[in-house]
Structure 1
Amino acid sequence: MSFDAIYSTGASAMRAQVMRLDTIASNLANANTVASSENDAYRAVKPVFETVYQQTETSFSAQVNMAGVVQTDRPVDQRYEPNNPLSDADGYVYYSNVNELEEMADMMSASRSFQTATSVLNRVSGMQQSILSLGQR
């Protein structure tokens, strides 16, 4: 694997984690939103990633691409709040299905993955600097 391929793979991994953090931020921002119907309630979203491998005669690379975003299938939280201005005719309001604890754990995992990709790229840069310094001796 060439240095360019390593940089490209590391950069795609970092982009994937940024997209993951974006969906987490969206979920956390909408964690306590209320709707007047189950269909209008916010549903947590999760990114779906795919790995794309490319191989030529002289090199091999892997990229992480975002295939899309899917809504979670966890049911929304229905609560009886007849005094809420958004309550339906039966007095129910519908809260998002975001699990804040799960989102925070996912955020920590995405952050660590981003740090790992950064560490890999820093090490590759250090290797390149070492190779360049060999020519100066």
Structure 2
Amino acid sequence: MANLPIFDVAGSAMTAQQVRLSTVASNLANADSVTGNADETFRAKLPVFEATPVEGNPALAGVKVQAVTESTAAPVKRYEPGNPLADAQGYVYAPDIDPVAQMVDMISASRSYQANVEVFNTAKELALATINMGR
């Protein structure tokens, strides 16, 4: 939509926030998973956003997901000798994921997505109102 780049900007933001919500969902789903080996432990996923110029209008920038990286936080080592996944010393390893921080991130991403839906809808209404001015 070269004539109305607002749709490109809002659309790119909604796509980026969708990826962010997906990574939060993945992190929350695996927050309580454990393994018997620290190297096999789930690592939290973190999206990396990047500003990207809108095609045909370098003064405007949308957003894109440059990459989805893994957390470098060390797994949490817990002594659970009765756990069938425990290693020879009785330890299991869990990802270092804070569910509260993930929920805050989820709310933030959801609100950002909703705000961009409103931008999209408002731009659509304004474009329709402009078209109807000539009638």
Structure 2: distance between partners of 1:9 and 1:3: 12
Say whether residues 1:64 and 2:66 are aligned partners: no
2:94 counterpart of 1:85: no
CA distance in 2, matches of 1:45, 1:59: 31
Tell me, which stretches of 5 or more residues in structure 1 are unaligned? none
Q: What is the one-letter code of the residue matched to 2:66?
A: A
Cα distance in 1 between the residues matched to 2:58 and 2:53: 11
Q: 1:79 to 1:8 in 2, by over 3 A?
A: same
- Structure 2 gaps, min length 5: none
TM-score (norm 1): 0.90
Q: How many residues align?
A: 134
Over the aligned positions, Cα root-mean-square deviation in angstroms equals 1.7
Contact 1:5 1:60 (C-alpha < 8 Å) held by counterparts: no
Equivalent residues in 2 for 1:96-111, closer than 5 Å: 96-111=95-110
1:35 counterpart SS class = coil
Q: Which runs of 4+ in 1 moved over 6 A?
A: none
2:43 aligned partner: 43
Which AA in structure 1 matches 2:31? A
Give percent identity, aligned residues only.
Answer: 38
Q: Which moved more, 1:67-76 or 1:119-128?
A: 67-76
What TM-score do the two structures reach when normalised by structure 2?
0.92
Once the two structures are TM-superposed, the CA of residue 61 in structure 1 deviates from its matched residue by: 3.4
Paired AA for residue 75 in structure 2: V
